[in-house]
Amino acid sequence: MTAADLVGRRLCFGLPGPDLTDADVRLFRETGAGGLILYRRNLGSPARLLRLVADLEAALGRRLLVTTDHEGGRVIMLGEGVTIFPDGLAVGVGDEPALAERQGLIEGRELRRLGVDLAFAPVLDVLGTGYSPNIGIRAYGTDPARVAALGAARIRGLQAEGVSACAKHFPGLGAARVDAHEELPVIDAGWDELRRTHLEPFLAAIVAGVDAIMTSHPLYPRLDPAPRTPVTFSRRLVTDLLRGELGYRKVVISDDLEMGAVSALAPIAEATVRAAAAGHDLLLVCHSADAQRAAHAALVEAARAGTLPRRETEESLARIDQLSGRRAARAAVGGPRAEPDGDALARDLARRAARVVAGTVPRPFAAAGATVVAVFPRLSALADRITVEAAMRDEAAYVQAACAPLGVRPRVEVVAVEPEPAEIARVAAVAGAADAVLLFLYDAHLHASNRALLDAIQEAARRLAVVLMRDPWDAEWLRPGVVGLTAFGWRCCQIEAALALLGR
């Protein structure tokens, strides 16, 4: 095999749409990319998704390693034919490893019917005590032992049903204070803290036989002091620590090399070679064809120059081939569909997580005949960027249905995800005229406009309950007497579990 033949198979690319184009085929044929990552943009329908993969493999005459992000909750790329489970933090609060394993079993069956080989899950980052804008509710929590137990259980479930799991983000991203998609995180943890806190879940994953581990892009200056060397570029952390000290022998994957944290340090060509040299087997370049071609060209040049030793590339390909070869058929029989008992499990996980995190729920929350206003974000506006459940795309109808078990029929005010001052003032006036208000608060920690919305409604409302939809850390801004509810996320099962606390 030539250098170009070898290195291309270490690349995993995303495609721009739900239907295969000649340009897509040329990209994979000319680069020899070995992996495909599936996004929302590829899911015209489950049937179209399977056709996209089948057509690409047929055109290439070879099998690809098909991957996707499928964490549950906030991060789900393929939102049809699957159960929408709660976020990791909800599962962590419930702390039932048997249920986490059951979740993995269900996800494995569903993803295999969609033709997926490898799920980039579970998240094994251990949260710190401060606010984490990127990991947050994606993680199982702050206790390393709990994260380890739940993550290992989910890995066993996924892999028992034929989908390889990928533990992420080694050696731990839970203490990052900025989002690596946008900026470069710097984590000031030393070796003692790493071994005491962050490594335990990854060690448990290795013992559980996890098929892949993903790194990410933070700088750990006390672990690798080399300038401008995040984990992605660090041979000290990928090869010496993960391969050498921890003895991991399976596939190591980079996070997306097009993220802002990486582009702040190096162009895509340099980043790809440095990530390969650090010891990653599979290199993710997820979005731009120009970046994908540049990554391939740089790998070929580095291989020809000897910067990337052929022996290491061959060892990487052997690990990738072993992973790909676990599944003979592209998809499990039966066609894409959600498991019949998945929804009940999702609701059970959400119910176990639901908490009153501020105030005391009055009984009843709203008396018979009382006027109730519900303020809810226009999540349908996000549907081109994140998976929004079908029921929630008509926000007013959804809120009415979710409140019906409480015997409450609220007037629903749907506001922008980041409301303008005039909209805030209007809604606050409506809230001030009501007997009781339900505010569904979306990320006041990230969006100053939602902090302003919260403050305005707290000033106006006579009685107020706030459902913390995404970040429970927003509870610190609730005033005395305001009820705070959460199930640690905003999937339907979580919203309904939080609302149920008002009716107990």
The model's pLDDT over 209-234, given as tens digits with 9 standing for 90+, comes to 999 999 999 999 999 999 999 999 99
Measured CA to CA in angstroms, residue 98 lies from 101, 155, 353 at distances of 5, 12, 15
Report the pLDDT value the prediction gives residue 504, as an integer from 0 to 100: 66
**Which residue intervals of the chain bear CATH 3.20.20.300?**
87-324
> At 19, phi and psi to the nearest 5?
-125, 140
Report the pLDDT value the prediction gives residue 240, as an integer from 0 to 100: 97
Tell me the C-alpha distance between 202 and 58, whole Å. Answer: 37
Q: Count Cα neighbours of 381 within 13 Å in the Cβ-side half-sphere.
A: 9
Report the pLDDT value the prediction gives residue 428, as an integer from 0 to 100: 97
> At 483, phi and psi to the nearest 5?
-85, 130
Record the pTM: 0.95
Q: Count Cα neighbours of 243 within 13 Å in the Cβ-side half-sphere.
A: 19
Residues marked as catalytic = 181, 255
Report the pLDDT value the prediction gives residue 449, as an integer from 0 to 100: 97
**Which residue intervals of the chain bear CATH 3.40.50.9100?**
354-500
Could you tell me which residues are beta bridge partners of residue 253?
214, 282
CATH fold of 354-500, please? Rossmann fold (3.40.50)
Report the pLDDT value the prediction gives residue 368, as an integer from 0 to 100: 82
CATH second-level architecture of 87-324? Alpha-Beta Barrel (3.20)
DSSP string, 368-436: TT--EEEEEE-GGGGTTTS---GGGSSHHHHHHHHHGGGT--PEEEEE-SS--HHHHHHHHHHHHTSSE
Residues of the chain under the 70 pLDDT cut: 179-180, 182, 504
Tell me the C-alpha distance between 338 and 83, whole Å. Answer: 6
Report the pLDDT value the prediction gives residue 314, as an integer from 0 to 100: 92
Task: Show the tokens assigned to 362.
Answer: 């009055």
